Structure formats: structure tokens, C-alpha cells
């Protein structure tokens, strides 16, 4: 065949190549910055706020990845015992671990929410017993199998069943459960009998550390300016143990709540009506950025312009506390999130190479009413 490159063939090739080139260019096109306007979001929490990533390390554990599917699984935080290897999730299990014993024995830990099982403990015990071919227990007898255990700072129940697997080896299942609304949360340690027995202490500690909740921002001081979300108190109980650091007796009207991993302590104070204030306690090595930077940061949280060094020195008061001199500063403005009149009483204490930050922030009237209690609290903190 004689080729005529002036003809349609050349045009067709050029068209095809150009088309492909366009596709290639669009495939390689980089993502671009977008600018758009959206109506303000309502304050109502959405599932997305749960941020089911489970990827943060609030309790100090290390994730090798972050779940996104199922996208709306609740966020579970915990302290992972040594030697437990975190496994994957699936539709049923929101957390799982595998444990290997010194002689190659294996055990698994799973956390599974199931609906509609609250108040049906005897059924649950008997379901597990059936797995081992054990006889069914009466409701009273099943209730006697249950022992109290702390799960995430709240009471739960636990039972223990030992038996033989299909291949005749000794296995054991330790199951803990806690009912939250319509959901029952099951924590199961199962595997080789010897290994399970050895891991029960770790399992109980793990149960104590578990928190099921919306993800918590490192709120309060760590944000560039602000981040304290008034009115978004979680139902998480206060941290039970604080190792090291100062101790105190807080005023009875202050309710301690979990402050997230970045706060040493957090208290919420309820005033008249819906007025609220919070007290954040945080710490940093060294001087924590210095007086000026921190005072101006607090000012930024109230939408106020920064103060000069002279202004700051004029407005800061020194108060003697048990841990050394505290520099206290007061400021007022508007919290952009609430739109309400908001005040801050902030205090900075340098103690043994660390800097401690205390911040009372909230409704201006309530802050004014709590200022004296805050100062007394500050003075009496034991380092």
C-alpha cells in the first residue's frame, strides 16, 4: 500500500495524538488552591465531628495507620499495653490487638460494639459458654459469673470462661462489657489459656484507659490563639491519675473534666443561665515562649490587639505562691465563637525549670466572680 502523508491518515494520527496529549496533560494537572464562600455551619455536632480517624495518640499509643472505613466508627483512645500489636478494624471490631507469648502462644483482644444487648447479660454469658460446649446457666448463676471492672472510668462487668478448643488445647476467653445507651461495648481477650491468664492484668489496665468519644482537639493554650471550645464538654470522666506535677484542692464549684492530651488539667465552671468558664492548666519546659508572647496570645483569643512590652509590664501583677511568683494578667474582649463578652485571667508560674500556665476564661461576669477563687487556687497549688 502506498502511503500518502498529506491525506486523512496524518490528520487522524495528529488528532489522536493531540487528544491523548490533552488527556495526559489533564491527568498530570496539579491540584490547585480553591477559594469559595459557604454559609456558616450550624453548631450542631455532626458525625464528621467524630472524625473517626482513630489516628491520634491522645492516650499515648502509636497507630501505624488511620481508619477511614467504616467512616463513622466512633473514636476509641486507649493506652496500649506493652507487647500488644495493634491490628486492623472491620465492620464489627473497632479495635483489635494480637499478642504473642514467649512460647509462641497467641491471643487476641477485640473491641466490638453491638446493639440491643443491654440487660441481657445471662444470654451473653451463655453464648460464650456454648462456644466451649459448657452447659447453660440460669439467670442467677450467670449473674454470679460477672465481676465488677472499671472500663474507661465507669463501672462495667467482666466474666471469664476456660475450656478446650477443637484441637484439644486449653483456651480462655475473658470478656468485659459496658452498656452505653442502646449499644453494648464488648472487650474480649481470648486465646491460649496460659497467655490469657498472664495478660489479664494488662487487659484490666487497658480497660481502664479506654475512652470512646469524639476526637479532642488539643484545645486551650496550644492553639495559636484560642481553641477553647466552651459548651463542648465531653462526657469523658476526669483523668484518674496524674503522675508527677503539682497537686491542689480545687473549689467545689469547679468540675474537672478531661482536657485532652495537651492539658495537664481542665475545669469547667457553670454560672447563672448558660454562662460558663473554663480553667486550663498546662505546662511547658523552659520559659514556654516568654511572658509577652503568651499574654499577646491570650489577647488574640479575645480579638484584642497585642500589647507592647511596657503595657504588659504595667498590667501584670505578681503574686507569691507556694511554687514561686505568679505573674497574673487580666484582659477582656469578645470570643469570636460565642460572640459574648469574654474575659481571661491568666497566670504564669516558673517552677523548677518548667513553666505552668493557668487560664480562667469565659463569660466576663462569671470570670469576675471566680477571680478570687482562681487566685486562691493558684496560690495554694503544691509543686
Partner 1 sequence: MLKRIYKLLTSVRLAVVLLALGLILVFLGTIAQVKLGLYQAQSEFFRSWLIYWQPSESSLSIPIFPGGYLVGGLLLINLFAAHLRYYRPGFKRIGIAMIHLGVVLLLGGQFATDMLSTESFMRIREGSSSNYSESNSLWELALIDTSDAEEDKVVAIPTSLLSGGKELSNPELPFKVQPVKFYLNSTLSAKNEGEGYELVKAENTELTEIWWRRLPKVTQMNFRDIPSSLIKLIGPEGDSRTILVSGHFSRPQTITVDGKELQFEVRPTRYYKSFSLHLIDFRFDRYAGTNTPKNFSSRVRLARTDNNEDREVTIRMNEPLRYSGETFFQADWDKTDEKGTVLQVVDNPGWLTPYFACVLVSLGMIWQFMSHLIGFATKREKA
For residue 154, state whether it binds partner 1 (rule: CB under 8 A): no
- Stretch touching partner 1 by CB under 8 A, among 147-155, 241-249, 255-263, 361-369: 255-263
Would you give the distance in Å from CA 270 to the centre of its chain?
Answer: 23
Contact 258, 238 (CB under 8 A): yes
43 vs 166 by CB, closer to partner 1: 43
- Residue 33 in contact with partner 1, rule: CB under 8 A: yes
Cα dihedral value 126, 185, 207, 101, nearest 10: 60
Which of residues 186 and 203 has its CB atom nearest to partner 1 in the complex?
Answer: 186
Nearest approach, Cβ of 147 to partner 1 (angstroms)? 26
The least distance separating partner 1 from the CB of residue 369, rounded to whole angstroms, comes to 26
294 closest CA partner among 194, 380, 220, 207? 220
Q: Map the footprint of partner 1 across residues 323-342, applying CB under 8 A.
A: 336
HSE-CB at 249 with a 13 A cutoff on CA atoms is 2
Q: State the cell numbers at 154.
A: 465507669
Among the listed ranges 132-140, 177-185, 265-273, 322-330, the one in contact with partner 1 (CB under 8 A) is: 177-185
If you search the block for the grid coordinates 468519644, which residue do you land on?
213
Q: Between 186 and 206, name the residue whose CB sits nearer to partner 1.
A: 186
Q: Quick one: which of 78, 84, 96, 113 contacts partner 1 (CB under 8 A)? A: 113
DSSP labels, 107-137: EEEEEEEEES-TT-HHHHHHHHHHHTTPPPP
Which residue, 171 or 381, is less far from partner 1 as judged by CB?
Answer: 381
Count of positions on this chain that bind partner 1 (CB under 8 A): 99
231 lies in the site for partner 1, by CB under 8 A: no
Q: What's the min distance (Å) between Cβ of 1 and partner 1?
A: 8
Residue of 103, 104, 113 lying closest to 52 (CA atoms): 113
Parallel, antiparallel, or unpaired: how do β-strands 183-192 and 211-213 relate?
Answer: unpaired
Check residue 301 for interaction with partner 1 (CB under 8 A): yes
Residue at grid coordinates 474480649: 188
The least distance separating partner 1 from the CB of residue 314, rounded to whole angstroms, comes to 22
For the bound state, the minimum distance from the C-beta of residue 374 to partner 1, rounded and expressed in Å, comes to: 18
Intra-chain end-to-end CA distance of the chain, in Å: 96
Dihedral in degrees, nearest 10, Cα atoms 52, 58, 60, 64? 30
**Single residue of 136, 182, 274, 311 touching partner 1 by CB under 8 A:** 182
CB of 41 to partner 1, least distance (A): 8
- Nearest distance in Å: CB 70, partner 1: 5
Amino acid at each position: 500500500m502506498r502511503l500518502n502523508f498529506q491525506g486523512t491518515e496524518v490528520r487522524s494520527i495528529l488528532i489522536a495524538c493531540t487528544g491523548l496529549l490533552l488527556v495526559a496533560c489533564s491527568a498530570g494537572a496539579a491540584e490547585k488552591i480553591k477559594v469559595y464562600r459557604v454559609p456558616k455551619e450550624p453548631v450542631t455536632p455532626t458525625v464528621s465531628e467524630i472524625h473517626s480517624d482513630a489516628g491520634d495518640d491522645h492516650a499515648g499509643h502509636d497507630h501505624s495507620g488511620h481508619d477511614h472505613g467504616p467512616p463513622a466508627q466512633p473514636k476509641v483512645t486507649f493506652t496500649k499495653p506493652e507487647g500488644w500489636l495493634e491490628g486492623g478494624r472491620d465492620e464489627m471490631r473497632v479495635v483489635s490487638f494480637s499478642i504473642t507469648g514467649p512460647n509462641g502462644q497467641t491471643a487476641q483482644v477485640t473491641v466490638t460494639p453491638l446493639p440491643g444487648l443491654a440487660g441481657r447479660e445471662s444470654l451473653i454469658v451463655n453464648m460464650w459458654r456454648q462456644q466451649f460446649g459448657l452447659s447453660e446457666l440460669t439467670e442467677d448463676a450467670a449473674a454470679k459469673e460477672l465481676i465488677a471492672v472499671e472500663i474507661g472510668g465507669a463501672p462495667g462487668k467482666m466474666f471469664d470462661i476456660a475450656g478446650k478448643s477443637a484441637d484439644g488445647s486449653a483456651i480462655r476467653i475473658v470478656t468485659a462489657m459496658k452498656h452505653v445507651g442502646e449499644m453494648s461495648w464488648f472487650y474480649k481477650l481470648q486465646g491460649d489459656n496460659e497467655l490469657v491468664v498472664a495478660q489479664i492484668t494488662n487487659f484490666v489496665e487497658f480497660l481502664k484507659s479506654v475512652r470512646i468519644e469524639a476526637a479532642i482537639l488539643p484545645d486551650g493554650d496550644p492553639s495559636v490563639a484560642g481553641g477553647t471550645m466552651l459548651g463542648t464538654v465531653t462526657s469523658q470522666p476526669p483523668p484518674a491519675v496524674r503522675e508527677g506535677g503539682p497537686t491542689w484542692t480545687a473549689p467545689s464549684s469547679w468540675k474537672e473534666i478531661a482536657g485532652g492530651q495537651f492539658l495537664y488539667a481542665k475545669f469547667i465552671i457553670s454560672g447563672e443561665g448558660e454562662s460558663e468558664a473554663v480553667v486550663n492548666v498546662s505546662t511547658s519546659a523552659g520559659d514556654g515562649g516568654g511572658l509577652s508572647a503568651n499574654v499577646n496570645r491570650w489577647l488574640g483569643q479575645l480579638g484584642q490587639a497585642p500589647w507592647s512590652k511596657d503595657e504588659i509590664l504595667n498590667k501584670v501583677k505578681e503574686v507569691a505562691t507556694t511554687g514561686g511568683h505568679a505573674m497574673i494578667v487580666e484582659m477582656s474582649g469578645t470570643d469570636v465563637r460565642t460572640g459574648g463578652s469574654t474575659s481571661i485571667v491568666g497566670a504564669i508560674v516558673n517552677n523548677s525549670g518548667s513553666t505552668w500556665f493557668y487560664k480562667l476564661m469565659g463569660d466576663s461576669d462569671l470570670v469576675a466572680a471566680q477571680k478570687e477563687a482562681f487566685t486562691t487556687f493558684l496560690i495554694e497549688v503544691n509543686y
